[in-house]
């Protein structure tokens, strides 16, 4: 399994408009390249490789006028695979448009006089295996010097010898599944970083979702209580009327005197006077 470091790992610039995807039926194989800087200063650390890739991209885009760094994938001496254009995108490294349509382009981060490490060879075999899964007819593995019309020393004598020995051929005598300690550590670091990033994403997503659930639950409770209160009141009223008799029995109520008219003189119960006695003349 190849773990490709993304373009962000080397702080790549955005590509300009350029060639699109390779046509599966036209691809014949992969071409192996090297930087060909002429320097013997090794490029081994992750930071050094990232810096070198940015420099080559600047040169290809600003000086050569190409749409992006020319290669599809880079493999360094620690066995790290770096995503450049990507295996599906046509390269700009093989010499002309016809060659770029027929072949992929894999960059080995080698300097003058340097031999490919076992880690570099193992990762390159795995990258080529991925390339063949995408392009089943693209089985050829060639040095750049074997296809470039104008001739070139690329990818250097050490890489050419490795190609001739089949060191980059998937399924060779070397165990493709073996990983060097450096590859194992790189894979471990990558998995841990991805795991931490995923855990943080899950935490944020769950916290946001939980807050929304709590708010929705509180609103539902309020709506339920209002609906329940109204329903209970309606049911209680219906129960009262359902048990009420059709007619109510007559009830003898005491006479209630009418209220006096405030505009009339009050009536006073006064007994009739006794007859006036006769008076003697």
DSSP letter for each residue of 108-163 = E---TTPPPPHHHHHHHHHHHHHHHHH-TT--EEEEGGGT-TT---TT-HHHHHHH
Report the alpha-carbon distance of residue 79 to residue 108 in Å, rounded: 10
pTM of the model: 0.62
Range of the domain at 201: 180-232
What is the number of structural domains in the chain? 2
Assigned token pair, 5: 């470091």
Q: Are both 25 and 154 inside the same structural domain?
A: yes
- Name which residue leads in pLDDT, 215 or 263: 215
Which of 121, 40, 134 has the alpha carbon at shortest distance from 86?
134
Q: Tell me the percentage of the chain whose pLDDT exceeds 90.
A: 54
- Name which residue leads in pLDDT, 80 or 194: 80
Q: Determine phi and psi for 273, rounding to 5 degrees.
A: -75, 155
Domain boundary among 109, 142, 175: 175
pLDDT, one tens digit per residue, over 104-154 is 999 999 999 999 999 999 999 999 999 999 999 999 999 999 998 888 899
**Averaged pLDDT of the chain:** 83
- Name which residue leads in pLDDT, 178 or 206: 206
Least confident of 4-13, 110-119, 181-190, 233-242: 233-242
Report the alpha-carbon distance of residue 259 to residue 256 in Å, rounded: 9
- Mean of pLDDT values over 22-48: 93
pLDDT, one tens digit per residue, over 228-254 is 677 766 776 666 666 666 665 665 656
CB 72 within 8 A of CB 106: yes
Q: What is the pLDDT of residue 210?
A: 74
Q: Are both 111 and 227 inside the same structural domain?
A: no
- Mean of pLDDT values over 58-72: 95
Which CATH number fits the domain that encloses residue 54? 3.40.80.10
* 246 inside domain: no
Report the alpha-carbon distance of residue 177 to residue 174 in Å, rounded: 9
């Amino acid at each position: 399994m190849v773990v490709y470091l993304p373009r962000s790992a080397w702080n790549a610039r955005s590509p300009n408009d350029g060639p699109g995807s390779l046509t599966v039926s036209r691809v014949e194989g992969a071409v192996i390249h090297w930087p060909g800087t002429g320097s013997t200063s090794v490029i081994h650390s992750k930071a050094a490789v990232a810096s070198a890739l940015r420099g080559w991209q600047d040169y290809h885009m600003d000086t050569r006028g190409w749409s992006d760094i020319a290669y599809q994938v880079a493999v360094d001496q620690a066995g790290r695979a770096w995503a450049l254009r990507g295996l599906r995108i046509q390269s700009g490294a093989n010499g002309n448009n016809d060659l770029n349509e027929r072949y992929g382009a894999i960059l080995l981060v080698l300097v003058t006089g340097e031999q490919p490490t076992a880690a570099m060879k193992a990762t390159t075999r795995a990258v080529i295996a991925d390339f063949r899964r995408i392009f089943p007819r693209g089985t050829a593995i060639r040095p750049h010097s074997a296809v470039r019309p104008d001739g070139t020393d690329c990818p250097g004598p050490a890489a050419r010898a490795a190609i001739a020995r089949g060191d980059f051929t998937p399924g060779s005598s070397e165990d493709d599944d073996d990983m060097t300690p450096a590859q194992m550590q790189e894979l471990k670091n990558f998995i841990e970083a991805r795991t931490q990033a995923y855990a943080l994403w899950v935490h944020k997503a769950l916290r946001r979702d939980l807050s929304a659930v709590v708010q929705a639950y509180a609103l539902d409770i309020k709506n339920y209580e209002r609906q329940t209160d109204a329903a209970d009141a309606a049911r209680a009223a219906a129960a009262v009327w359902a048990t009420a008799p059709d007619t109510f029995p007559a009830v003898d109520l005491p006479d209630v005197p009418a209220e006096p008219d405030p505009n009339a003189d009050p009536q006073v119960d006064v007994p009739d006077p006794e007859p006036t006695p006769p008076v003697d003349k």
